[in-house]
Structure 1
Amino acid sequence: MWYKNFFSGLVQDAWKAAQTDEQTELECDFLNDVLELQTGQRVLDIFCGHGRHALELARMDYAVTGVDIAPESIRDLQKTAQRQKLPIEAITGDFMTVSLDGGFHGAYCLGNSFSFFPHDQMLVFLRKIADQLVPGGRFVADTALIAESILPDFQERSWMQIDEITFLVENEYDVRESCINAQLTYLRHGETVRRQSRHYVYTIAEMHRLFAQAGLVIVELFGNLDGSDFVLGDDRLFLVAQKKPE
């Protein structure tokens, strides 16, 4: 998979710089509300990165397990958790293959990582999430790449400035595979890093069918952290699902 060697160096610096403390706090307040957890219960952070959500939720007295394939991200998370004495288990590995012991009351996948997989692997991914949850446990996914968000105003080329980093994205939509192949360029003080990514695009109806096959029921579709319903053209989708009772 393309993402196995993607998140390192300048790319990782750009991702960190693009996130604000205010955004993290709002997202964690949202997770706290919709996951319907009780103090001390276990939460799974899928593709946790350097752990901005995991750290905040641990401060709310949840026991967090974070999984990420990028060793430097996990090292950052482990150091911060140890320094602040927070109840976080940080695991380096590919979520699709790493061994976990289940028993989680909640799980989440934020930051567009949810769009990494084609149909057959997406079903495997969702089934693994369902297997990790207790009956009735909830899962939250955040994506800006659902069809109802990305296709009404598809951008072939865009750029942004993130602190000292210039970030250019060149997108090509593969209509046969329903996916976006992107060339990404990062520039800082004469340093240039190029990466390629591949994100799969699903409709919400397809999501409903895939989740149902995995034993998860979609219960809410939000277009914003304030709890407003998702509508066509919203920039982001916050999807809330629940594991079916036994």
Structure 2
Amino acid sequence: MAWYHTYFKGLPQRAWKLNQDEEYTDYEVDFLRDVLEITPDSKVLDVLAGYGRHAVPLATDGTALTCIDISQEYCEELQTTAGRGQLPIEVVCADVLNYALPAGQFDAAYCFGNSFSFFPRTEMQQFISQIASALKPGAHAAIHTENLAESILPNFQARNWMPVQDDIIYLAENEYRAEGGYIEAEQTFISGSEKVTHHVRQHIYTLGELTYMFEQAGLLVVGTFSNLEADPFQLGDEQLYLVARKQ
């Protein structure tokens, strides 16, 4: 069983949510509306949706969202939020690699939140192809990642730590395995007397690799940006926003 099947619950999940910036999320939602050409009539796929921090504001405008995530806790939270607000959100709690997305049904798709490093190369190609198959011709897809090789490797950190809000400390020990193109990490979360440790494998891709995989799936990369102002991505930039169009 892959690490991400059991990671997103309890303390790590709470730390991830507390570390999100609501104002920045609003900017990302505006970015998605723009680059994906989302309208209130659009049908949009949110892959690895988490608790719906992008989906909920999009659905508030009337856009229909299908959100898929593997975390039972996140799915239940999003289902509750959608029900409370009577939002047009369908929540699917499943491993996306084992879930048959409806073909050619969506006007747009996105995978945000730095989730685009969970899968090794064969599964990553499958993942991208599943997203492509779910899109209508001419529809756009967007991804966000901070784990691109051009971002991680120039300033690779073997150890790092950070406080999360007031009561959680995050620590990580990282080892880059060049032969496999991935980082093996031991991540520890501490809050008071509670301590949770996970062993995580993040697969590191070059921008060239991702572009090739998207093209193999029938998605033409039309933009690679380092920020929400759409500045072109360059070596050493900390994050990538990639936009592609289905052929």
Which residue is 2:146 aligned to? 144
In structure 2, distance between residues paired with 1:117 and 1:12: 19
Residue 232 of structure 2: SS of its match in structure 1? coil
Which residue is 1:117 aligned to? 119
Q: CA deviation at 1:64?
A: 0.6
Residue 183 of structure 1: SS of its match in structure 2? strand
1:220 aligns with 2:226: no
Q: CA deviation at 1:206?
A: 1.1
Could you tell me the percent identity over the aligned residues? 45
Q: Deviations along 1:47-66, whole A, 9 cap, x unmatched?
A: 01111111011112210110
Which residue is 2:212 aligned to? 209
Q: What amino acid maps onto 2:149 in structure 1?
A: A
Residue 136 of structure 2: SS of its match in structure 1? strand
Q: Tell me which of 159, 182, 186 is aligned to 1:183.
A: 186
In structure 2, distance between residues paired with 1:101 and 1:204: 28
Q: CA deviation at 1:99?
A: 2.7
- For these two proteins, the number of residue pairs brought into alignment is 244
- 204-213 or 176-185: bigger deviation: 204-213
In structure 2, distance between residues paired with 1:213 and 1:145: 21
Which residue is 2:137 aligned to? 135
Q: CA deviation at 1:202?
A: 1.1
1:20-99 matched pairs, under 5 angstroms: 20-99=21-100
In structure 1, distance between residues paired with 2:41 and 2:196: 41
Q: CA deviation at 1:36?
A: 1.1
Q: Deviations along 1:108-131, whole A, 9 cap, x unmatched?
A: 111221111111111111110001
In structure 2, distance between residues paired with 1:101 and 1:120: 21
Q: Which runs of 5+ in 2 are unaligned?
A: none
1:239 aligns with 2:242: yes
Residue 54 of structure 2: SS of its match in structure 1? helix
Q: What amino acid maps onto 2:117 in structure 1?
A: S
Q: CA deviation at 1:100?
A: 2.5
Q: Deviations along 1:50-98, whole A, 9 cap, x unmatched?
A: 1111101111221011000011100000001110111100110011111
Q: TM-score, normalised by structure 1?
A: 0.97
In structure 1, distance between residues paired with 2:127 and 2:151: 22
* Runs (4+) off by over 4 Å: none
8 Å CA contact 2:32, 2:38 repeated in 1: no
1:160 aligns with 2:172: no
Q: Which runs of 5+ in 1 are unaligned?
A: none
Which residue is 1:192 aligned to? 195
Q: What amino acid maps onto 1:222 in structure 2?
A: F
Q: What amino acid maps onto 1:149 in structure 2?
A: S
Q: Deviations along 1:139-192, whole A, 9 cap, x unmatched?
A: 111001111111110011111101110000111000100101110000001100
In structure 1, distance between residues paired with 2:64 and 2:55: 9
Q: TM-score, normalised by structure 2?
A: 0.97
